[in-house]
A and B are shown apart, each in its own frame.
Chain A
Amino acid sequence: MTNEAQSVAEAVVGEPAIEKQPFNLLVWMSSRGIFVFTTVLVVVAAIFIDGFASLDNITDVFNRAAPIGIVAVGMTFVVISANYLDLSVVAQVATAAVVLIAVSNESNIPAAMALAFVIALLYGLVNGVAVGVFKANAVIVTLSTTFIGLGILRWFSGGSIYFGPQDGAIRSFGLAKIGPFPLSMIVLILMTLILSFVLTRTNFGFLVRSYGSNRDATRLAGVNTAWVVIGAFTITSIAAMIGGFVLGAFSNTAVSSMSTGFDFRALAAIIVGGTSVFGGRGSVLRTLLGVVFVSVLTNIMVLSGLGFGVQQMAIGALIVAAVSIDSLARKASGT
C-alpha cells in the first residue's frame, strides 16, 4: 500500500499551481542523497586508489563527464516534462560534431556553428511538434527522428570520418584547460547554471515542471502546452548540439558513430541524480551530480583495471542501489 500511496503523494506534491517554489522534503532529501553518495565515493577513492587525486586524473574525470553531462542537463527538461527521454540525442550529437568539423574545414567555424544551430532547432521543432501538438509518444517520435537523422547524416557524409586541422581553433578549444578544468567542463558548469536558472526561476521552467506533474491541469489552466513541449525538446537539442561540439573538439575528429549509447547513458545520469521519470520533479544541478557520480565511478573502475563487463554491472547495480536507498529512506521517514 505504501508504494501506491507514495505515487499518489508524488502526484500531489509539487502541485505547481499553488506556489512557484514549495519547499519539498523529498526533493531536498534525494538531492542530498546523490550529493552524499558522490562525496563518499570521491573520498574513498582518494584514500584507497593510487593516482585518483592527481590533477591529471581529475582532468580525465572531467573529460569523461563533460560531453555526456552537457547532453544530460539539457535532456533533463524532456524528462521533467514527463516525456521519458529524447533518443534522438544520439543522432543530434553526431550531426553537430560532423557539421562542426566538416563544414569548418570547407568554410569557417561560425558558418558551421550556424548550420548546426539551424539543425538543432529543426530537431527541437520536429520532436516538439510531434509530441506537443500531435500528442504522439515521445519514445517513438525520437526513435524515428534518430533513424531519419542518422540516415540523412550518413547519406550526406557517406559515413566518413572527418578531422580538424592540427593547429585550428577547434583543436585549441578541445585541448584548453584552466588548472585541471578542461574548457568543456567549464561549458558544462555554465550550461548547468543557465539551465538551472531557466528551470527554477523562469516562467517557462515553471510551466515545464507543472506540465510534467499534471499535464491536464496545466492545459486546463489555459497554458499553451504545445510551446512548453517544443521548448523542452529545443533546449535538449541545443544542449545536444553543444555536447556534439565539445565531443568533436575534444577528439578533433567527427564520425556518425561517435555518440552511440548517449541516449541511455544520459538518462542514467539524470536518474542517478534523482530526477523523477514520472516528470514534474527534478533539477539540473542533480543531473550534474549524477554525471559526476557515474564518471567518477567509471574512472575508479578503469584505474582498478576492471573489465568492461564488470564496469557495466557496477553502473547498473549503482543506478538501482542509489534509487533504492533513496526510496527506502523516504519510506522510513514516513513521507
Chain B
Amino acid sequence: MRSRYTRWISIFAVLAIVLAACGGDDTSDTTAAGSTDETTADAGGDTYEVFALLPQGNDQPYGSTYLPPMQEEADRLGINLTITNSQYDADKQASECEVAVAANPDLIILWPAVGDTVRPCLEAAADAGIPVTVTNSDVNPEDKDLTAAYSGPDTYGQGVASAEIFCDLAGGEDVGIIMVNGLTGNSTAIDREAGFEDTINDQCPNVTILARQPGNWNKDESQIAASEMITAVGAENIGGVYAADDTMVAGVIDALKARDIDPASLIITSIGNTFLGNPLVKSGELDGTVFQSSSWDGGNAITTAYEVLTESPSERIVKFMPSVKVTADNAEDASVAPEW
C-alpha cells in the first residue's frame, strides 16, 4: 500500500511542478514540490543509485509483472532505482543510456532493446567507470567482457526447451506444424524462433514447418493468423502448433476450436506458463510450455546488481532462469504457479 501512496505523492508532485511552471510566477509552489521529491529519495539512508534501462514496462504484460518484484527487491536492499522504457526503440535507449551515464549512478542495469546496438552504450559506461549488469536478454558474446553480470532467461534456450517437448511427443512420426511468432524484428521473437527451429531440425527433422506468421504477442492477431494458416495448408495436414508465447497459443487453440478441431488431438507447445497458458496445460489442450518467471527475472536483476555493487566480483556473474518445462505432469506444482 505504501508504494501506491508514494506513487500518488509523486504524480501530484510532478503535476504541481508542471502546473506551477505553466502558471509562471508562483515559484514557492515549485520549490515545495521539488523538495518533496528529494525527501522521498533520501528516506532510504545509505542508498545506491541505479539506472535500469528497460525496453518495456507497464506497456507490456510481462514488463508489468517484472517491475513490482524489481522495485520491491530494490527497496529491500536500499537501491534507489531510476527506470526508463525505450519501447524497443534502440535509438531512444541509446539516448537514455547517455542520460544515465551523465547522471553518474553506481550501476546501470541494461535490458537491451536490440542486442546488436548496445556496444557504444557499454563502452560509454565503461569509460565513466560505471559497472553494467544485463537483465532478461544477454548481450552478444563479444560484448560480454564489458558487462559485469547477466541474469534472466535463456531466450534461445526457451525455444529449445519448447522444441524438446515437441520432439518427445512427436516420437518418430512425420508431423506438419504451423508456427506463430512474436513481433516481427523483436529480439526475443527472433531468438525463440531460432531456438525452436534449430532444435527441430536437429532432433526431430521429421517435423516440418508448413507455415509461419507473426502474431505480434497478441491473442487476437494470433487467432486470425492461425486460422488463415489452417486454411492455407489444410486442416488435415496439421499435426501440431508452436506459438512463441502462451497468449498467442491461446489464440491458436481458440482458432482450432472455432473450426471444430480438437486441440487435444494435436501436439501444441509454447513458452511462458502464464495465467492464460497454465490452465490450458491442465486441461490438456496445450501439451507443454516453458516457465518464464517474471518475478525471478525482475528480482534477480536487482540481487545480481547488488552483488556486483557490494562484492565487485572478478568473474562475470551469469544466472540463468531455469527453463522449466511445464506439462500435464507438473502443471499443478506450486513451483510453477503462473505469475503473469
Contacts and interface: CB of A to CB of B under 8 A. Distances in A.
Question: Does a CB–CB distance below 8 Å link A and B in the complex?
Answer: yes
Interface of A: 50-52, 54, 56-57, 59-60, 63-64, 67, 150, 154-155, 157-161, 163, 175, 247, 250-253, 255-258, 260, 299, 302-305, 308-309
Nearest to A54: B231
Interface stretch (B114-122, B217-225, B310-318): B217-225
B340 interface: yes
A211 B60 CA distance: 40
Contacts of B276: 161, 163, 253
Contact of A159 (B60, B224, B274): B60
B247 A253 contact: yes
A303 B225 CA distance: 9
B59 A256 contact: yes
Interface string B207-230: 000010110111110011101111
A159 B64 contact: yes
Chain B binding site: helix, strand, loop or mixed by DSSP?
A: helix
Interface of B: 11, 57-61, 63-65, 68, 184, 211, 213-214, 216-220, 223-225, 227-232, 234, 247, 250-251, 254, 258-259, 274-276, 340
A56 B234 CA distance: 12
Nearest to A254: B219
Contacts of B228: 57, 60, 299, 302-303
Given A63-B224, A159-B64, A51 B247 contact: no
A292 to B, nearest CB: 15
Contacts of B250: 253
Contact of A158 (B64, B220, B274): B64
- Most chain A CB within 10 A, of B64, B211, B217, is at B64
A251 B59 contact: no
Q: Which 6 A-B pairs have the closest CB atoms?
A: A159-B64, A159-B58, A154-B58, A251-B220, A161-B61, A251-B219
Given A160-B64, A160-B340, A251-B218, 12 more contacts: A56-B231, A59-B227, A154-B58, A155-B58, A161-B61, A252-B219, A252-B254, A253-B247, A255-B61, A258-B218, A258-B220, A302-B229
A308 B184 contact: yes
B247 A161 contact: yes
28 contacts: A51-B232, A52-B231, A54-B231, A56-B227, A56-B230, A56-B259, A57-B228, A59-B227, A60-B228, A63-B227, A154-B64, A155-B11, A159-B61, A159-B63, A159-B64, A160-B61, A160-B340, A161-B340, A252-B219, A253-B219, A253-B220, A253-B250, A257-B59, A257-B217, A260-B216, A302-B225, A302-B232, A309-B184
B224 A64 contact: yes
Contacts of A50: 232
A60 B228 CA distance: 7
B187 to A, nearest CB: 16
A303 B213 contact: no
B231 A251 contact: no
Nearest to A309: B184
A305 B211 contact: yes
Given A299-B228, A305-B211, A257 B60 contact: yes
Contacts of B234: 51
Nearest to B283: A166
Nearest to A300: B228
A260 B232 CA distance: 26
Given A256-B59, A303-B232, A309-B184, A175 B258 contact: yes
A251 B251 contact: yes
Contacts of A56: 227, 230-231, 258-259
A52 B251 CA distance: 21
A54 B227 CA distance: 12
B59 A51 contact: no
A260 B274 CA distance: 22
A50 B228 CA distance: 11
A158 B213 contact: no
Which of B61, B230, B247, B276 has the most C-beta atoms of chain A within 10 angstroms of its own C-beta?
B61
Contacts of B227: 56, 59-60, 63
